[in-house]
Copies of this chain bind each other. A is one copy, B any other.
């Protein structure tokens, strides 16, 4: 765990937020490599939903919503609150399930009685800070989908069953944020809400469970590191008729990365009642009903953390030149091609030969508009390979003395360390093929 956190900071993936001010509330910022990784992850999910499933459309609702939404959704009631106990001595607060007897886990002081504490973050919209101006930062993105249900059906001429997908930020005033980016107070969700006939809800629940499990595996997560846990009645969220978690085997143990819920007609029915608008769906036959909803809800930071964990490898025995005989382990970040933040490294063999540097920069300028590239001339070539392995760069292109003669370059593949030689005019096309899954050794002259 500490190794991943440290790699993330050192190599520009993830920094503690406002770190120069001592950080803030277990919130994190994504650095140059982190934002590319996160964007790639969101793109992969969005493509899976919108492009691979033809009956799904996108949406992007605002974080601030009419406060009446949270009455209808049940979030202003006791269901969306934590029971907290305060230590009468040190004044720290704890969740009910964190304390075993009536003593503070930190200072052994006496604890108060439990008190309900809503998890939504409050703000004020408008010129006066009073009750009438209270609004909330949404604690889940899905309500933005439900309140737009009719607008989407009408403007897009959709027929049930169909889905609406959305990526966006949510906020929860967690008492106990923890586990690096696993549980943070500001986080991002990728949610898809599938609207269907009541009778078909069970069928689609099973369908989406399988689909979602497949998706993680398609992106390189091993099945043994994924677990499905069903929440029994009585322990489910207030809206859920059925609820499973997809859990990942994190360094700290199993943790939920996605929830799949059969929400029944809870949402659309409640919003109909609270808003006074009839949100029932009308079939061509004239039948009217509240559509049932199957929800697939991914935590962006959590799943990103899972992909980072799965990709993190330490290799002993020296993969690269500098550490050939060293005992020190090298980090190899085996991110899948679609997720890796940097696809291509362009490396001049030496930096004190102006022609080589010049040609390397030509290659960089040629490729960078098409693929995320990084140019690196600092240190030995072995050290640079090592730096690229550490951040998961798929291909390293080396410009050497031969390149000056015949305009060919060495391409080194990250995981196999195998090399092929490619002519400049073929670089873009070859890399495109490699990134699309082509057989590396068949794409150029093996050396």
Residue pair A64, B24 in contact (C-beta under 8 Å): yes
* In the complex, A28 has a CB within 8 A of chain B: yes
Q: Which of B21, B186, B369 contacts A69 (CB 8 A)?
A: B21
Determine if B368 and A54 form an interchain contact, defined as CB atoms under 8 angstroms apart: yes
Confirm or deny: A365 has a beta carbon within 8 angstroms of a beta carbon on chain B: yes
In the complex formed, the residue of B with least CB distance to A30 is B60
Cβ-defined contact, A17 with B52, below 8 A = no
In Å, the complex CA distance between A9 and B66 comes to: 19
User: Does A102 lie at the interface of the complex (its beta carbon under 8 Å from any beta carbon of B)?
Assistant: no
Residues of B within 8 A of A378 (CB): 157
Q: How many monomers of this protein are in the complex?
A: 2
Min CB distance, A208 to chain B, in Å?
A: 19
- Chain B residues within an 8 Å CB radius of A54: 364-365, 368, 375
Task: Name A317-361 residues within 8 Å CB distance of B.
Answer: none
Which residues from B are CB-within-8-Å of A23? 66
Least CB distance, A132 to chain B, in whole angstroms: 11
Q: With an 8 A cutoff between CB atoms, is A234 at the interface?
A: no
Does the CB pair B148–A61 fall under 8 Å?
no
Is B20 a contact partner of A150 (Cβ separation < 8 A)?
Answer: yes
The listed residue (B12, B35, B275, B369) touching A52 by CB distance below 8 A is B369
Interface size on A, residues (CB 8 A): 84
Docked complex Cα distance between A60 and B35 (Å): 6
- Check A25–B144 contact: CB distance below 8 A: no
CA distance A51 to B342 in the complex (A): 12
When chains A and B are docked, how far (Å) is the Cα of A121 from the Cα of B17? 19
Question: In this complex, what residue of B is CB-closest to A24?
Answer: B66
CB contact list, A361-420 vs B, under 8 A = 364-365, 368-370, 372, 375, 378
Q: Please encode chain A, from 51 to 91, with 1 for each CB lying within 8 Å of some chain B CB and 0 for all others.
A: 11010011111111110110000000000000010000000
Q: Please report which residues of chain A, range 22-53, place their CB below 8 angstroms from some CB of chain B when the two chains form the complex.
A: 22-25, 27-32, 34-36, 38, 47, 50-52
Residue of B whose beta carbon sits closest to that of A86: B127
Interface status of A227 (Cβ within 8 A of chain B): no
In the assembled complex, the Cα of A279 lies from the Cα of B20 at a distance in Å of 9
Q: How far is the CA of A198 from the CA of B28 in the complex (A)?
A: 31
Which residues of B have CB within 8 Å of A152? 12, 31-32
Contact B127 A93 (CB under 8 A): yes
- Cα–Cα distance between A185 and B122 once the two chains are bound (Å): 15
A294 to chain B, nearest CB (A): 19
A147 contacts B by Cβ under 8 Å: yes
A275 to B12, CA, bound (A): 21
A24-B62 Cα distance, complex, nearest whole Å? 10
Q: Which of A20, A23, A144 has the most CB of B within 10 A?
A: A20
**Interface membership of A96, Cβ < 8 A:** no
Output the nearest chain B residue to A376 by Cβ-Cβ distance: B157
Does B185 contact A29, Cβ atoms closer than 8 Å? no
Residue of B nearest to A82 (CB): B127
The residue on B at minimum CB distance from A21 is B66
CA gap between A370 and B210 in the complex, in Å: 24
CB contacts (< 8 Å) of A375 on chain B: these are 54
Q: Check: A135 CB closer than 8 A to any chain B CB.
A: yes
In the complex, what residues of B have CB within 8 A of residue A126's CB?
25, 173
- Considering only residues 417-442 of chain A, those with a C-beta below 8 Å from chain B are none
CB distance from A339 to the nearest CB of B (A): 15
> How many whole Å from A388's CB to the nearest CB in chain B?
13
Docked-complex contact A121 and B117, CB < 8 angstroms: no
B30 touches A59 (CB 8 A): yes
Contact call B123/A123, Cβ cutoff below 8 A = yes
Does A2 belong to the interface (CB within 8 Å)?
Answer: no
Residue A200 at the chain B interface, CB threshold 8 Å: no
B25 with A155: CB separation less than 8 A: no
Closest 8 A/B residue pairs (Cβ): A18-B66, A12-B155, A32-B57, A24-B66, A21-B66, A30-B60, A20-B275, A29-B61
Chain A residues within 8 Å of B, Cβ to Cβ: 9-12, 15, 17-25, 27-32, 34-36, 38, 47, 50-52, 54, 57-66, 68-69, 84, 93, 117, 121-127, 129, 135, 137, 144, 147-148, 150-152, 155-157, 164, 166, 169, 171, 173, 175, 185-186, 271, 274-275, 277, 279, 364-365, 368-370, 372, 375, 378
